[in-house]
Amino acid sequence: MNAAPGQPATDHPGSPENQRWRERVRRFAEEEIAPLSAKMDRTAALDATLRERLFSEGLMSVEIPRGYGGTGGTLCQLILTVEEVARVDPGVAVGVHVHNVLVAGTLLRHASGDQRRQYLPQLATGRIGAFALSEEQAGSDAFALATVARQEGAGYVLSGRKRWTSNARNADLLLVFALADDGGPTAFVVPADAPGVSLDHRVEQMGVRAAATSDVVLDRTPVRTAQRIGPPGGGQTVAMAGLDLGRLGIAAQMVGLAQGALDVAVGYSRVREQFGSRIADYQGVQFPLADVASRLAAARALLYQAVGLCGRGTDPVELMRLTAMAKYIASDVAERAASVAVETLGGNGYTDAYPVERFYRDAKAGKIYEGTSNVLLRTIASIMTGVNPGD
C-alpha cells in the first residue's frame, strides 16, 4: 500500500492546513449537499448541479497533482473529505470515495506515465470514475471472475457483467477487472460510452442511494493494450492495493456517518422536552450518547493512525491489519450511532422528517462493501496468528 507521491511525512489530521481543509469541506457539505440529500435519497441519483460543484470545489480530485488539473492534496485530506461529506450524506460520500480512492488513486499509484497524463486530467475536471470488480459470484471472493478479456488484434475484447457498481450511472470512465487469456485477473480503463458497454437495471438499495449503483454489461467491448493498467495478470495486485486504501475510505465514511447521527441526536436531546424537562437531563438518554461518543473517538483515532502510517515505510502486513481494524470498528460504531440516534428521537427518528432514519439505512452498508465484517475478522486473525485462512 503506497501513499501518493510526495505525501509529506508530517501530514496529520490536526495540522493547521488540514483543519482549514476540513472546515472548508464541512461548510460545503452543510450548505450545498445537506439541502439536496432527501431528494437524492428518494431519486437514488446524484444531483447534476451538485456533481459540477463537487468538481469545482476540488472534492473529486483531492490527491490528483496540480499538474494534472487536480487539487494536489494528500491522502489525509482525502480521508477528511470523505468523513465530512458523510457527516451529512453518506451516499454522496460513497461516490466521492469511489472516484477519488478506487479509481483516481489506483491510476495515480499504478498507471504508467502516459496513462496518468491521459486519464487523471479527465478525472480531475469533470469525468466520474467507477470501480467495476464485483460480479454475481465474485463478492467477498473478489477474483472468482467470469468477465473475460480475450486477446484480439492489437488489444482485447471484454465480455461479462459487473454487479453492484457504485457510481455506474454517473460514470464516464470504468476501471474494469477481467480474466485475461494471457495472464489472469487484469485491470483496464474503459470509457463508459465504449462500444458494447451498457447499464442494466438500477440496483435499488436500502441506503447510500445517491451512489447511483447499477450493473455494467460488457458485450465484446474493444480495448487497446494501452488501456491495460499494469501487466497481464496484475489486476489482483492493483485491486487489492486499492481496496486496502478503500477500507480507510469506508472507515472515514462510517466515522462521518456516526458523527452526523450523534450531532443530530445530541441537538435534539437539548430541545425536546418531556415530563417538564429536556430529555438531555435524563441518564437514560445521556448514557447511550456518551457511549457512542466514546466509541466514535476510538474509531476515529484508529482511522487516523492507519492513515498516518500509509507511505511511511510501514510493513504492508501491519497496514493491512490496521486498515481492516479501522473499517471493522468504524462500521460497528456507525450502526450503533445511527440506532441510538433513531431511539433518541423516538417517533420522529422513525420518520424521514429527520436525517437519522436515512443514516440508519446508510450505516448497514459499512459492514458489507469493500470487505464484510467477517472477512475483516478473518484477515485480522490470520495476521495475528500466522495461520493462513485458506489452510
State the catalytic residues.
370
Q: What's the Cα-to-Cα distance from 349 to each of 135, 268, 281, 358, rounded to whole Å? A: 35, 10, 19, 10
Angle (CA) 27-28-31 rounded to 5° is 80
Q: How far apart are CA 214 and CA 150, in angstroms?
A: 24
Helix (H) or strand (E) holding 179: strand 173-180
Beta bridge pairs of residue 188:
176, 228
Q: What is the DSSP letter of 104?
A: I
Three-class secondary structure of residue 135 per DSSP: strand
d(CA 358, CA 360): 5
Q: Which of 219, 227, 213, 172 is nearest to 197 (CA)?
A: 219
- Cell numbers at 94, concatenated: 460513497
Type of residue numbered 91: G
Q: Which helix H or strand E contains 261, and what residues bound it?
A: helix 235-271
Angle at which helix 316-345 crosses helix 235-271, to 10 degrees, equals: 30
